[in-house]
A and B are shown apart, each in its own frame.
Chain A
Amino acid sequence: MRSQDTRSDTHPTRLRARPRLRHRAAAVAVALLGAAGLSACGSSGGGKVTLNFYSFPDNSGAVQQAVDSCGTSRYTIQYNKLPNAADGQRQQLVRRLAAQDSALDILGLDVTWEAEFAEAGWILPWTGANEQQATAGTLKAPLETARWKGKLYAVPYNSNTQLLWYRSDLVPTPPKTWDEMINDAIKLAKQGKPHLIEIQGAQYEGVVVWFNTLVASAGGSILNASASGPSLGKPAVKALTVMKKLASSAAADPSLSVQMEDQNRLAMEDGRAAFQLNYPFVYPSMKADKPKLFKVFKYTQYPRVDANTPSHVTIGGIDLAISKYSSHPDLAFKAALCLRNRKNQLIAATKGGLPPTIESLYSDPALAKSYPFHAEILAALKNASVRPKTPAYQNVSIVISHAVSPPGAINPSSTESTIASQIKDALASKGLIP
């Protein structure tokens, strides 16, 4: 009897206690969801369209200035930042484009992504008047990065290319070829002076750029013309020989296999190096950090592989593309053209240090002040090479970086055949990547 009493006592009380808690929790959850829903949907009122511009985070203020000045009566542009690292940027864009997110309009793409995005159907081709305006006065090599299967898929915003930076107190006349440079370095090493050649040798995209530059400068290319298979061959073997020669000589930095652009810059600023292959960002940095060393800090063209052929340095940079799922593509095209027009590229160059893609800017006196090396950069851009254009570029890049880094482990002929066979698989998107 007693147990029955306690049972009937427990049953209703327990049930009564629980729902209170659960109802309150449910109410909170609904309120949260409701608030979220209200804030997420329905922010556009009136007639003015907001175009969303997604690009790398720029802390110089140049991009924000362009965004602010490019608004018109029909639209305003909103600058949304992507993560700092290129891989992070690509991930965010890919995820949202694959989900057909209509909240992206203008995209800032790294120069190696256009083929991939175009093939996947995520960006719109540029045609007619838009294409004309995009190509007018623009340098050829950056335009090349934006082309895929004969169509133009993006408009170049800024470019980037490497120069040879050297110390004039150690090397009065700069070397013209890689062999000369390595020999100069070995001579300096024998004299006990700073002698290192700083170059990016870590297992990442930078070493692929180095390899591509050498292959192109040797007169070859990584992929064949139709991007259906590897080309490589003798030029690639020559390129690998150069890399191996550097890595096994006294000119190699002991940390070569972990170095990226910034470590190269630091090694040069610390006074340990005589030569550096790097982007122009090292110039203002040396000026600010080591004013004494800056006095003997000079620049020249990237060294050649073959003494009779100019070097073909591989370029980097950003192109602007329009998302296929944008709700206002016509406005977005116009906005993108404005963002990268002459005025804004000049601001990006002077404020942000990014080499422009419009040729006439290089003879503009306003650029010369902050870009004393503008002539060298223009020459490099005119002779530039681009990285292999294929939707499977990420795979190709990983294959190459794993094969040529650490550079000391290269065996020119066998490495070349390894890369060739792995590229075949990579292009077919077969198998795994490490």
Chain B
Amino acid sequence: MTVDLDKDAAAGATSTAPAKAKRAPVSEGARAERRLGWLLCAPAVIVMIAVTAYPIAYAVYLSLERYDLRFPKQAKFVGLSNYGAVLSSPYWWHALYVTMIITVVSVVVELILGMLLALLMHRTLFGRGTVRTAILVPYGIVTVVAAFSWQYAWTPNTGYLVGHFSSGAPLVHEYQAIAIIILAEIWKTTPFMALLLMAGLALVPEDLQKAAKMDGATGWQRFVRITLPLMKPAILVALLFRTLDAFRIFDNIFILTAGGNDTYSVSILGYDNLFTALNLGIGSAISILIFICVAIIASIFIKGFGASAPGAEG
């Protein structure tokens, strides 16, 4: 008994600190911590698994079948040939190309713009409530309505923007239309970045800033040396989720051009093949490929940001 108590006491004294002896028998404290951890995570995990386990498994299974809803009797297992069909199709690569352009440009612009807006929302001397609310309004408007209003604005004879910036119908020309789509995306989701970045800004302690100021650091130096590094986790979350969403862009393109005139993204391609052509096999294969691309992007981000990732000890 006494021996056990001693061992427990020894292990327990170290269990409240982050480090834990990995090979020693798990102490009661560590076990309690584990149980608590699982208990806290359980509801979230249960909901997520219950909702997505079957659909994801079904989607994967469908991608291995040649299954067209309109010819149900011809369904059969074909292994990876759907993937072969998708990857050898020029439509897929064009969609990927368009998607990459939209993703890279919009995320970069939104990061910079979002940082500026975050600083504004956090630091502005007056009218903070108004500025914050006004900036968040674009994010709150129903996406299809916002896209619809942009489409209207750029339609010849009826819109207020089309006369000033271009002649003819910009939505019909591939690159002009892509530019408009990017503009609509940026307008709609920069508030998302700004919000997350502002929340990250709020965590940077004022004292550090004051101390650095007293040491003579300029605003820019303070920003780059103090604020940015401390905001790394917030920047990672903002960048990660924004890129994942940008890559899967759908609503804006659907309303503005319906993917016509070569402006279709990978999601539009998946939608067309899944819901319009009712080709469940190809549509699911496209979805899985989108998922793989997005997973690659996510892993690049997480590796790049390293210790700032959630769950990593840092």
Contact = CB atoms under 8 A, between A and B. Distances in A.
Does chain A touch chain B in the assembled complex, meaning CB atoms less than 8 Å apart? yes
Size bracket, chain A contacts: 35 or more
Nearest to B167: A254
A7 B28 contact: yes
B13 A3 contact: yes
B68 interface: yes
Q: Which of A4, A98, A202, A258 has the most CB of B within 10 A?
A: A258
B68 A255 contact: no
Q: Which of B70, B72, B89, B286 has the most CB of A within 10 A?
A: B70
Nearest to B275: A91
22 contacts: A3-B13, A4-B5, A4-B8, A14-B36, A15-B36, A25-B43, A91-B275, A94-B275, A119-B71, A203-B258, A254-B169, A255-B157, A258-B155, A270-B157, A392-B70, A398-B276, A405-B260, A429-B70, A429-B279, A431-B89, A432-B91, A432-B273
A183 B9 CA distance: 100
Contacts of B273: 432-433
Interface string B248-284: 0000000000111110100001001101111100100
A255 B159 CA distance: 13
Contacts of B16: 3
Given A4-B12, A203-B260, A266-B158, 14 more contacts: A3-B9, A3-B12, A14-B32, A18-B39, A94-B69, A98-B69, A254-B169, A255-B156, A255-B168, A392-B70, A406-B172, A406-B261, A429-B277, A433-B91
Contacts, number: 110
B32 A10 contact: yes
Interface of B: 5, 8-9, 12-13, 16, 28-29, 32, 36, 39-40, 43, 68-72, 85-86, 89, 91-92, 94, 155-158, 168-169, 171-172, 258-262, 264, 269, 272-273, 275-279, 282, 286
B304 to A, nearest CB: 33
Instruction: Across the A-B interface, give the 5 residue pairs with the lowest CB-CB distance, nearest first.
Output: A203-B260, A391-B70, A432-B89, A258-B169, A3-B12
A257 B169 contact: yes
A123 to B, nearest CB: 13
B260 A429 contact: no
A28 interface: no
B157 A434 contact: no
Decide if the interface of chain A is mainly helix, strand, loop or mixed.
helix
Contacts of B89: 431-432
Contacts of A434: 91, 94, 259, 262, 264, 269, 272
Contacts of B168: 254-255
Nearest to A1: B9
A391 B261 contact: no
B162 to A, nearest CB: 10
A241 to B, nearest CB: 22
A98 B69 CA distance: 8
A91 B283 CA distance: 15
Contacts of A91: 275
A258 B276 contact: no
Q: Which of A3, A87, A270 has the most CB of B within 10 A?
A: A3
Interface in A378-434: 391-392, 394-395, 398, 401-402, 405-406, 429-434
Nearest to A408: B172
Nearest to A8: B28
Contacts of B92: 432
A169 B114 CA distance: 57
A190 interface: no
Contacts of B272: 398, 433-434
Contacts of B156: 254-255, 258
